[in-house]
A and B are shown apart, each in its own frame.
Chain A
Amino acid sequence: MTYKVIGKRVKRVEDPRLLTGQALFVGDVTLPDMLHAAFLRSDYAHAKLISIDVNLALEVSGVVAVYTAADMGDAWEPGPPLVSPPPTLENVVFNSRRQVPLVKDKVKHAGEIIAVVVAESRYIAEDAVEEILVEFEPLPVVVDLEKCLEPGSVLVHDDLDTNLAAHLVQNKGDYESARKGADLIINRRFQLDRGAAVAMENRGIVADWNEKNQHLTVWDATQSPIPIRNGLAARLGLTQRQVRVIAPFVGGGFGPKIMMFYAEEMVLPWITMKLGVPIKWIEDRRENFYATTQEREQIHEVEMALSKEGHILGIKQTIIHDTGAFNPYGLTTPLNTQSHSMGAYDVQNYSSEVIVVFTNKTIVTPVRGAGRPQGIYIVERLLDIAARELELDLMEIRRLNFIPPDAFPYEHKIIDQAFVPLILDSGNYEPAFDKALEMLGYEDFIKKEQPRLRAEGKHVGIGIVPFIETTGVGPYEGARVSVEPSGKISAATGVGTQGQSHMTSFAQIIAEHLGVQVTDVNLVTGDTAEFQWGTGTFASRGAVVAGNAVNAAASDVRQKVLKLASKILETPEKELELEDGMVRVVDIPDQSISLGELALLANPLRGAVEPGTEPGLESTKYFGPAFGATAFGVHGMILEVDPETMMIKIRKYITVEDCGTMINPLVVEGQIHGGVSMGIGNAYYEKLHYDENGQLLNANLADYLIPGSTEMPHIDVHHANTPAPNNELGTKGVGEAGAIPVPALFAQALENALHDYELEILETPLSPNRLYELLHKQEDPS
């Protein structure tokens, strides 16, 4: 299908507002009589709460109230299970333990909330927090993923006799039989550590109960305003109509803002209903490090069986996944790890055990990539190791194992986060892979440039890693598109916006159907008063699920426009075209009517609307895919390492991205750039250092280093296009893609650069320091 507007590099229409500081964020919301909240958080990662004395805090001038768990009475309850284990999985152990609004008896991770102060200003509230006296009884702390399972271990949850949060096994084919026929068995242990999402905007909430209206409005920097609205209504005994949740512009989501509920999201609405005045809280960076969810900590014991030609015969794996102190997000992340542990390859025999553990650390929920980078890391590492053992070319072994194009739709058989056996809808991997090799100049580099560089004593390595990304899962999203009498288009969808360019790309879809300018579309996202059905922006699903809902609604409006215009212009629909905000008779431009005039005629003040029709040129449509759309990509880089310091310089970075039909290539490239920067952080800079007491040692941006513009390479992006067969637009998600292959890519390129050290990398994230240690373990510097 050829499009006029879809697929064009349209500049983002939201940027002028964002760049000039005119866009609304939660921090900008200021209401009359608004009070401010500050939280007392536990320094201890594990401690019994003996007593709290808030009297001194209440005496601070300007303090209105101080609340603890005891004050909440029946309103105190843990958060809802946001995602339960898939009902389709058999023999699952799942011990659901959810986060609480205020700690009642025992602290389970540092940063949990003990009390909240409400005051006339945040400054006063902060000062008063210091006046709260708390008696703790510190308890031994459990942080280690394996030790926590040992008999007699300290328990995070006393009502469980174990720190096991979940256990499940998924099998495909028959690994043990496959193993018997193998020429090579590789066995490795991988250690993957934690990072933070570090959105530029921290979390923030303004909650406003209007007693006279009996209505609650909550501005929330969330990725999921509709579920938050529904959940708040249920908890607070209100109807959904009485609650409006607005997620205005949000300065980065990356996963942690999908949580329902964070403690603060439970506490602030409860307080505003108690006091009858608006309450505001904006998270600071330190709170963000302790209280906002994190990801990626896993230990893998993996075995890969191969034929001597390099065919993967099977993979067997045990994953220990750290969920932190609670597991509100169910099994989403480890399920994603499983579904990506076979990568882009045709693996017929797979046996995978997931052990999820509770530790006294910050809660784990998906962070951009959501378990996928770990899966891709281990399969790609194993292939690198196998290729070396079998003396095969690193690229050849991948080509050998790719799922072939005629195997799609490919039944992966593993149940993933969509709750159904994963089906890879479409793909054409080898041409994209070859393109990546060509862009990087792989042959030339290996044969000519690298030998020359090595002769000069330089350590320059190359890496190429392919990956899949399951995207666009259900359940559904919806959209409403409406032509206004002005000729402008108003539209709304339930997903929120955290930088995904919805105002532009969804407007492009609408402009395509209705023949208007992209700037003529006014799109609202993330406001439950504007659109109240849907789930949210996560899992790389906006462009697929909401995008196709917008497409369906816009297409329907187009039909209504054509039908009405046909009648008025006395011309068959097929002879009409929509262009420049007008409906014209093809080849007779004088015979036309504007969309605005049609909108007026469709909503008459007198006369009668024809039976069986609706007023207006408006449509609301939904899209819910039976299963997701799986994207594919290849990242490659040439990396120089200084063996003296292990500092790196990325000489070249390329990606080939197949996310099906692109609505806007500029937006896709932006997602990739952002994802790669996050991936580079995950691979070589960012690691959360918890000590044995559960204390986060680098809870600030001076010590927890995120890569900046100086660490970002220029990125060449090539777009391949295998349209998704199961949605009208043919789109696949791309939001997380950029981050997924980067740790595996770094490992491969570093090993290649440091070939003379015979290095085998089995962990991520690395750092110059860590890499140096791996190579010089034996040396004594004293």
Chain B
Amino acid sequence: MLARPGLPDFEYMKAESPQDVFRLLEERGGEVKLLMGGTDLFVQMRDGNESAGILLDLKYLPGMKDISYTKKKGIKIGAAVTLNQLSAHPDVTNHFQILSQSADTVGNYQLRNRATLGGNLCNASPSADMAPAALVLEGEVSLSGPDGERVMALDQFWVGPGKTALKEYEFMTAVCFPNPPSGAVGRYLKLGRSKMGDLAIVGVAVLGYPDPEVPAGIRFRIGINSTAPTVYRVPQVEELLAKAPLSDDILRQASGEAMKVSAPIEDVRATVLYQKKMVNNLTFKGLKEVWSQLINS
């Protein structure tokens, strides 16, 4: 058993251009860890789970901290935009409110000054609080690598706990979200053991919007975290909700289906029974709240 009095020594470097990043990775790849807010990385390093000779800070690369919004294309959020910025930026709060809601649930205010959207998504934690909302908003991530830029839908991005589709030497530069369908309402419900600072035992994001094409008149998208190897959508449940006129019974049935899809593992923070039931209860609560809001608006 090893005591950990603090971070081990490391060299800190600030990347000025993507080429800086690729060059350093090429030269000293094994020693380098890419740094965004560091809210996970530093903890992992302190605990001895990660080590790095060099921390290469990507936050100061061009565009990494920018937020740009157009009515036509939606929003582009630099990967290094902090969660507190997401929480307060008018373009986010006006058009992508569920992102602000989600950001507000992460850790505490001080931590959110450092934590970044890109970091939260790239960390690929099954409990990532930004991920359910990012999924239901059908975001796309911009990735930059030695072979150039590429864009990938978020639902392709996570491949396992802590694992992403990022290739060697590749990093995330931005996340783009198209404008949500007209009249959309979103809600992220997070269940942690305390009101502040805990990781999600279960988190459910529900996005609903009017759609006259479907019998329900409303379409829902549902994103869930903490109860599978990656954060996930439940398309079968979304289809079920679209198929028939909405009622509490249908919402209940859908929530039950979501619970069946969930596959949590037991740990010291929560049992399987509790997590599954919470998927059910939070999904119902989220659906009900969004539905009520849509009816009333």
Contacts and interface: CB of A to CB of B under 8 A. Distances in A.
Contacts of A129: 2-3
Nearest to B260: A782
A41 B260 CA distance: 43
A644 B267 CA distance: 21
B281 A286 contact: no
A126 B2 CA distance: 7
A705 interface: yes
A132 to B, nearest CB: 11
A710 B194 contact: yes
Contact of A710 (B195, B281, B285): B195
A708 B260 contact: no
B1 A284 contact: no
B197 interface: yes
A160 interface: no
Interface residues of A, number: 44
B265 interface: no
Interface in A723-782: 767-769, 772-773, 776, 779, 781-782
B271 interface: yes
Give the interface residue-count category, chain B: 35 or more
Most buried by B among A702, A709, A711, A781: A781
Given A705-B193, A782-B260, A39 B3 contact: yes
B196 interface: yes
B281 A769 contact: no
A720 B138 CA distance: 61
A769 B285 CA distance: 18
Interface string B255-270: 0000110000001111
Nearest to A282: B5
Interface in B62-103: none
Given A130-B2, A284-B4, A769 B194 contact: no
B4 A710 contact: no
B250 interface: no
Contacts of A698: 268
A525 B70 CA distance: 66
B196 A781 contact: no
A24 interface: no
B276 interface: yes
B9 A123 contact: yes
A772 B277 contact: yes
B8 interface: yes
B4 A286 contact: yes
A42 interface: yes
A645 B268 contact: no
Interface in A98-129: 110-111, 122-123, 126, 129
B5 A123 contact: yes
Contact of A776 (B197, B201, B277, B282): B277
Contact of A126 (B5, B273, B276, B277): B5
Contacts of B251: none
B161 to A, nearest CB: 16
A769 B267 CA distance: 11
Nearest to B264: A781
B287 interface: no
A647 interface: yes
A705 B268 CA distance: 11
B106 to A, nearest CB: 13
A40 B2 CA distance: 6
Contact of A781 (B5, B6, B198, B272): B272
Contacts of B24: none
B191 interface: yes
A386 to B, nearest CB: 31
A284 B5 contact: yes
Given A705-B198, A707-B194, A768-B193, A41 B1 contact: yes
A711 B8 CA distance: 34
Interface in B130-177: none
Contacts of A186: none
A703 interface: yes
Contacts of B268: 689, 697-698, 703
Given A705-B194, A707-B194, A645 B5 contact: no
23 contacts: A38-B3, A41-B2, A129-B3, A282-B5, A284-B5, A287-B3, A644-B281, A645-B282, A685-B193, A685-B194, A689-B268, A702-B198, A710-B196, A711-B194, A711-B195, A768-B193, A768-B274, A769-B271, A772-B277, A779-B277, A781-B259, A781-B276, A782-B260
Given A697-B268, A703-B269, 18 more contacts: A38-B5, A39-B3, A40-B1, A41-B2, A123-B5, A126-B5, A129-B3, A282-B5, A284-B4, A286-B4, A645-B281, A697-B267, A709-B196, A710-B194, A711-B194, A773-B271, A773-B274, A782-B276
Closest 9 CB pairs of A and B: A710-B195, A781-B276, A41-B1, A644-B281, A769-B274, A710-B196, A698-B268, A689-B268, A697-B268
Interface of A: 38-43, 110-111, 122-123, 126, 129-130, 282-284, 286-287, 290, 644-645, 647, 685, 689, 697-698, 700, 702-703, 705, 707-711, 767-769, 772-773, 776, 779, 781-782
